[in-house]
Amino acid sequence: QVQLVESGGGLVQAGGSLRLSCAVSENIFNFNSVGWYRQAQRELVARINVGGVTTIAEPVKGRFSISRDSATNTVYLQMNSLKPEDTAQYFCGAVILARTFWGQGTQVTVSS
């Protein structure tokens, strides 16, 4: 059973930064992509595919970045210049073929 464990959420003032971590229980190169999603609708925030190509959603482009550490099977979301509208539950998702494995989520709250 694939497990994803998110950490790094919290309360931050607008303009601040947070870094989220997603620890994956398997080799991240086993997956087509690993990414970050937010809200109950699981809208894409950022993802990185097996080839290292990143996709960043328009609302966060220029402020957020995604990276990975293959040695620890961890995927990071660096969030800078945070805005109140970034407040959400953030989920890590790992995609293989047509299936997505999800973590439990981590809350990010940005105060104005």
Task: Dump pLDDT digits (tens) for 55-96.
Answer: 999 999 999 999 999 999 999 999 999 999 999 999 999 999
Give the model's confidence band at 40: pLDDT under 50 very low, under 70 low, under 90 confident, else very high. Answer: confident
Task: Give dist(CA 107, CA 92) in Å, integer.
Answer: 12
Q: Decide if pLDDT at 39 tops 80.
A: yes
The closest of 100, 107, 97 to 24, measured between CA atoms, is: 100
Q: Decide if pLDDT at 4 tops 80.
A: yes
- One-letter amino acid at 112 equals S
Residue whose token pair is 């607008």: 14
Using DSSP's 3-state secondary structure scheme, residue 25 falls into: coil
CB 10 within 8 A of CB 108: yes
Q: Tell me the two tokens of residue 29.
A: 């190169």
Task: Give dist(CA 101, CA 24) in Å, integer.
Answer: 10
CB 57 within 8 A of CB 42: no
The closest of 1, 64, 72 to 35, measured between CA atoms, is: 64
Task: Give dist(CA 66, CA 98) in Å, integer.
Answer: 22
